[in-house]
């Protein structure tokens, strides 16, 4: 390897001295030197192409013959960067939960790589993020291609290896020309932990030759599968929420480059033809005409290559662009042309699988298809790089000038600074600008909690988020109270407005409300000297984390069941109390624990309150530190089980046991105080002998916490609860008479929508005197994804109920809508000395439904104590 060094010449050194004309000899000499330099570059490139190691040479097998382990994948990328430093730069951006490396490769022509930082900054200038100088639309466009976000959709990382070699080898003159117009960012594996789980399993199941028989064990991937990450999160639903380190670190890097094109590579079931954009409806209204048109242009180019090879494909039927946290929509709402690519395969296909048509789908086929669309995407962007950059720049110019949507400002109440802190963290992660609003500003806006236009006077620490900023469309999509659906046939949730997800009062305002500078003094934490006790506010998930930490450290903590008043200040029911006398041996640790969690602490000098409970009351209850177990395994829904596991392991830092649900009959449940039953389908629920043993454990003081479809399963067995059923006679009255059962075959998919609820927000009325709801007001907003309501309980507590007309936003099928009223979604059933807590909905959905987390913490630490 060798490097050609050319000394830098300033503009003055590169032109004739003042007063002299450039001689003919001088021009001839310049041209001669340029020709020599060009020849040297050509010779170097030719030598480099001949010496570059191919994937087969490096891996020891042809691409498609095996699945490549992650360490070999990253090793090949490093080798290519070592051998072709003028064309490839590696950018590590973090680690996974399991410590595996995350990286991207930036690839372009040698000339572009020499000015790579200028190209990156130019993209930020076009986006209005970097304002140091004007942007230049003639510079190369940035194409970002993401592979293997779902670990068992494993062909795409193999594609990344092949693509890198084709771009760098110099064997194709067309590719070399494309790289003069674009910089390609390749992320070879977004989900190394999930991919490695799949690859290691598959390699242990297969032999020398693949077995294409679909019934062979290599096509029967076990629970939890490789789709998700270490904690079973779907990383392709996490782009906006950034709950996982893989996402958070990747999106941070993404914002440093702001590509104008993003491709997200997936796999679907083996019998499916290939899918590429244009996407299906519904499109979110914030998506621009240019974004729609260019998706179409790229798709037409893909079709050209697929037609030439006789490959089947489809467009515009599935894979919509509504939910904002996909690998196509999130880039779209950040100005890019975002696209999903779906190849047949998935975790079922292995290296080869026989199809019903009689054909065999091989891993090599899957690689070829994804490689074709990868190269085709680069080709189209290279041919239109200036136009792509101009439209990208216009997108952000329009955003800063005009904002997006019906509302110009979103005002968020600062009354609960602990909740606000979590929301502001999300805004910062998404590079959304916000500011404080002047107290006493009179305005009129849509009140999220009442659903009405109302007058409001801003209070101290309220914040404002404008849409007139570079992230205008992202702000609109994340905050708007109601999003219009152009087509109700969508396959993900249809409502997610952040004020509901975070449980924070907010107003959507049509006028731009000015932000005002505000100097906030840092909080002064009390010294905790010799006080009688300490009152700890408890009204946000951060307080739940604090409670878990105190219990883990061995502190004795109490909780007040009624409001109290001390020195004229009211402390709501659910306030935590730490008595000095009970924690004398640990007082040296108390301050550090409370400071670590930024606790809102009030020292008190006496147990005699102005009003309410005194500290000797039996309504000031002691909180025991529970021994917690979570059911896992094939009967559980992996993603919900993972949400619960992640909550305890990563957010609460609280020790739990993970139990295989299929072995529950042989466990000694007396070792646990709380048993959590995630969403799933369980044999033990209908097994009379095992159910009797679990009920005995509950009666002796145990606590079951049951979620989602597991609640529905218990309602159909003998557990003392029933689901609310729709009145069949009333439903018949709404039918169209004797021809109601006559349906058109072509409408079979849409006929199902009347009973469909992909994810809609409902207002839940709370009994906040119950410990399950300590820390909440009179209402909670649930993300409802099923039609399940529990019948009002006579021998239990209907802690959270949906009353008439409480749908807030999102799509609900017309028949199902009639059913979703006058029922319970949060219930507590006493059983002997124990308790069963029922969540009809998932309060931890994808870990972004922030306002449900404290409810879940309460179910484990407070309810039933």
- Per-residue pLDDT, averaged over 170-184, amounts to 96
- Per-residue pLDDT, averaged over 290-306, amounts to 98
Q: Tens of pLDDT along 13-29?
A: 333 233 333 444 444 44
How many CB atoms within 10 Å of residue 809?
20
- Name the band, by pLDDT with cuts 50, 70 and 90, for residue 738: low
**b/e burial code for range 521-545 (CB count within 10 A of at least 16 → b):** eeeeeeebeebebbbbbbbbbbbbb
- Per-residue pLDDT, averaged over 120-130, amounts to 98
Q: Give the pLDDT of residue 747.
A: 65
Position 714 pLDDT exceeds 70:
yes
Position 9 pLDDT exceeds 50:
no
- Name the band, by pLDDT with cuts 50, 70 and 90, for residue 736: low
Position 111 pLDDT exceeds 60:
yes
Q: Give the pLDDT of residue 41.
A: 45
C-alpha span between 641 and 644 (Å, rounded):
5
pTM: 0.92
Rg over alpha carbons for the chain, rounded to the nearest Å, is: 30
Interstrand relation of 533-536 and 601-604 (parallel, antiparallel or unpaired): antiparallel
Please tell me the least confidently modeled range out of 40-49, 203-212, 229-238, 394-403.
40-49
Q: Give the pLDDT of residue 483.
A: 86
Query: What percentage of the chain reaches a pLDDT higher than 90?
Result: 86
Position 621 pLDDT exceeds 90:
yes
- Name the band, by pLDDT with cuts 50, 70 and 90, for residue 743: confident
Q: Give the pLDDT of residue 26.
A: 47
Closest among 229, 228, 474, 429 to 331, alpha carbons compared: 474
Residue with more model confidence, 810 or 6: 810
- Name the band, by pLDDT with cuts 50, 70 and 90, for residue 864: confident
Position 36 pLDDT exceeds 60:
no
Q: Where are the alpha helices (DSSP H) in 740-807?
A: 748-751
C-alpha span between 271 and 2 (Å, rounded):
49
Q: Tens of pLDDT along 334-382?
A: 999 999 999 999 999 999 999 999 999 999 999 999 999 999 999 999 9
Position 718 pLDDT exceeds 50:
yes
**The pair of three-digit structure tokens given for residue 368, joined into one six-digit string:** 């070829």
Position 735 pLDDT exceeds 90:
no
- Per-residue pLDDT, averaged over 782-795, amounts to 95
Q: Tens of pLDDT along 566-618?
A: 999 999 999 999 999 999 999 989 999 999 999 999 999 999 999 999 999 99
Q: Give the pLDDT of residue 467.
A: 97
Position 758 pLDDT exceeds 50:
yes
- Per-residue pLDDT, averaged over 220-234, amounts to 98
653, with CB counted inside 10 A (0-12, 13-18, 19+), is exposed
Q: What residues have CB less than 8 Å from 342, skipping those under 6 apart?
A: 266, 267, 268, 272, 274, 275, 276, 319
C-alpha span between 469 and 434 (Å, rounded):
10
Average pLDDT value for the chain: 92
Q: Tens of pLDDT along 416-451?
A: 999 999 999 999 999 999 999 999 999 999 999 999
Q: Can you say whether the dihedral through the CA atoms of 286, 289, 292, 295 is positive or negative?
A: negative
Position 732 pLDDT exceeds 50:
no
- Name the band, by pLDDT with cuts 50, 70 and 90, for residue 55: very high
Q: Give the pLDDT of residue 737.
A: 61
Q: Tens of pLDDT along 494-541?
A: 999 999 999 999 999 999 999 988 878 777 788 888 889 999 999 999
How many CB atoms within 10 Å of residue 795?
9
How many CB atoms within 10 Å of residue 667?
18
- Name the band, by pLDDT with cuts 50, 70 and 90, for residue 37: very low
C-alpha span between 357 and 777 (Å, rounded):
59
650: cis peptide before it, omega within 30°? no
Q: What residues have CB less than 8 Å from 686, skipping those under 6 apart?
A: 713, 717
C-alpha span between 477 and 481 (Å, rounded):
9
- Per-residue pLDDT, averaged over 56-83, amounts to 97
Interstrand relation of 703-707 and 797-802 (parallel, antiparallel or unpaired): unpaired
Q: Give the pLDDT of residue 804.
A: 86
**The pair of three-digit structure tokens given for residue 514, joined into one six-digit string:** 């000015």
Q: Tens of pLDDT along 823-860?
A: 999 999 999 999 999 999 999 999 999 999 999 999 99
- Name the band, by pLDDT with cuts 50, 70 and 90, for residue 764: very high
């Amino acid at each position: 390897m060798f490097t050609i060094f050319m000394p830098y010449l300033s503009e003055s050194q590169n032109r004739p001295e003042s007063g002299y004309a450039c001689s003919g000899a001088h021009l001839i000499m310049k041209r001669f030197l340029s020709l020599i330099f060009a020849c040297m570059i050509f010779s170097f490139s030719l030598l480099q192409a001949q010496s570059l190691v191919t994937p087969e040479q490096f891996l020891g097998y042809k691409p498609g013959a095996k699945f490549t382990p992650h360490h070999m994948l990253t090793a090949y990328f490093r080798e290519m960067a070592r051998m072709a430093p003028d064309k490839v730069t590696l950018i590590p951006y973090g680690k996974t939960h399991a410590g595996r490396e995350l990286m991207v490769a930036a690839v372009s022509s040698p000339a572009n790589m020499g000015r790579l930082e200028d190209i990156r900054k130019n993209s930020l200038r076009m986006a209005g993020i970097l304002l140091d100088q004007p942007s230049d639309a003639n510079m190369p466009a940035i194409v970002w291609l993401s592979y293997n976000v779902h670990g068992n959709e494993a062909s795409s990382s193999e594609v990344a290896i092949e693509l890198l070699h084709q771009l760098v080898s110099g064997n194709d003159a067309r590719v070399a020309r494309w790289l003069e117009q674009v910089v390609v960012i390749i992320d070879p594996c977004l989900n190394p932990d999930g991919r490695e789980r799949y690859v290691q399993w598959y390699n242990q199941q297969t032999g020398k030759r693949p077995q294409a028989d679909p019934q062979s064990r290599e096509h029967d991937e076990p629970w939890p599968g490789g789709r998700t990450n270490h904690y079973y999160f779907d990383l392709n639903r996490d782009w906006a929420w950034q709950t996982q380190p893989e996402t958070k670190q990747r999106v941070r890097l993404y914002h440093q480059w702001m590509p104008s094109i993003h491709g997200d590579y997936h796999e679907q079931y083996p019998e499916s033809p290939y899918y590429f954009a244009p996407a299906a409806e519904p499109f979110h209204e914030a998506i621009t005409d240019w974004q729609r048109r260019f998706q179409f242009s790229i798709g037409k180019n893909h079709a050209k290559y697929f037609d030439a090879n006789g490959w089947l494909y489809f467009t515009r039927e599935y894979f919509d662009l509504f939910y904002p946290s996909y690998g196509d929509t999130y880039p779209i709402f950040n100005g890019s042309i975002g696209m999903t690519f779906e190849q047949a395969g998935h975790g079922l296909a292995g290296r080869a699988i026989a199809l019903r048509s009689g054909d065999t789908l091989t891993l090599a086929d899957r690689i070829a298809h994804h490689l074709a669309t990868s190269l085709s995407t680069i080709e189209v962007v290279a041919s239109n790089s200036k136009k792509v950059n101009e439209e990208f720049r216009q997108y952000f110019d329009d955003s800063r000038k005009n904002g997006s949507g019906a509302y110009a400002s979103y005002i968020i109440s600062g009354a609960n600074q602990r909740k606000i802190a979590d929301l502001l963290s999300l805004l910062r992660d998404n590079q959304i600008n916000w500011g404080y609003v002047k107290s006493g500003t009179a305005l009129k806006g849509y009140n999220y909690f009442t659903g009405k236009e109302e007058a409001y006077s801003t209070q101290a620490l309220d914040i404002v988020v404008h849409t007139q900023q570079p992230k205008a469309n992202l702000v609109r999509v994340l905050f708007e109270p109601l999003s219009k659906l152009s087509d109700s046939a969508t396959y993900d949730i249809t409502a997610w407005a952040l004020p509901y997800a975070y449980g924070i009062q907010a107003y959507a305002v049509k006028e731009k409300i000015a932000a005002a500078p505000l100097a906030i003094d840092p909080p002064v934490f009390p010294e905790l000297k010799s006080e009688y006790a300490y009152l700890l506010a408890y009204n946000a998930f951060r307080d739940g984390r604090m409670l878990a930490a105190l219990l883990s450290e061995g502190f004795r903590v109490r909780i007040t069941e009624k409001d109290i008043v001390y020195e004229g200040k009211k402390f709501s029911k659910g306030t935590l109390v730490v008595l000095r006398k009970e924690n004398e041996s640990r007082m040296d640790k108390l301050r550090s624990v409370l400071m670590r969690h930024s606790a809102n602490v009030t020292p008190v000098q006496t147990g005699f309150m102005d009003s309410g409970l005194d500290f000797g009351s039996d309504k000031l209850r002691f909180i025991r530190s529970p021994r917690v177990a979570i059911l896992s395994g094939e009967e559980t829904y992996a993603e919900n089980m993972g949400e619960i596991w992640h909550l305890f392991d990563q957010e609460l830092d609280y020790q739990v046991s993970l139990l295989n649900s299929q072995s529950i009959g042989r466990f000694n449940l007396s070792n646990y105080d709380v048993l959590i039953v995630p969403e799933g389908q369980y044999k033990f629920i209908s097994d009379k002998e095992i159910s009797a043993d679990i009920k005995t454990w509950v009666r002796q003081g145990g606590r079951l916490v049951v979620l989602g479809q597991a609640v529905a399963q218990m309602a159909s067995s003998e557990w003392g609860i029933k689901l609310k059923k729709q009145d069949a006679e009333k439903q018949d009255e709404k039918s169209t008479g004797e021809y109601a059962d006559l349906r058109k075959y072509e409408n079979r998919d849409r006929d199902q929508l009347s009973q469909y609820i992909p994810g809609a927000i409902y207002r839940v009325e709370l009994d906040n005197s119950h410990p399950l709801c300590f820390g909440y007001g009179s209402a909670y907003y649930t993300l409802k994804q099923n039609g399940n309501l529990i019948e009002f309980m006579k021998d239990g507590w209907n802690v959270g109920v949906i009353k008439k007309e409480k749908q807030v936003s999102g799509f609900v099928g017309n028949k199902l809508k009639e059913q979703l009223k006058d029922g319970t979604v949060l219930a507590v059933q006493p059983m002997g000395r124990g308790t069963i807590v029922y969540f009809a909905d998932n309060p931890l959905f994808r870990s972004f439904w922030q306002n449900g987390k404290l409810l879940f913490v309460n179910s484990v630490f407070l309810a039933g104590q």
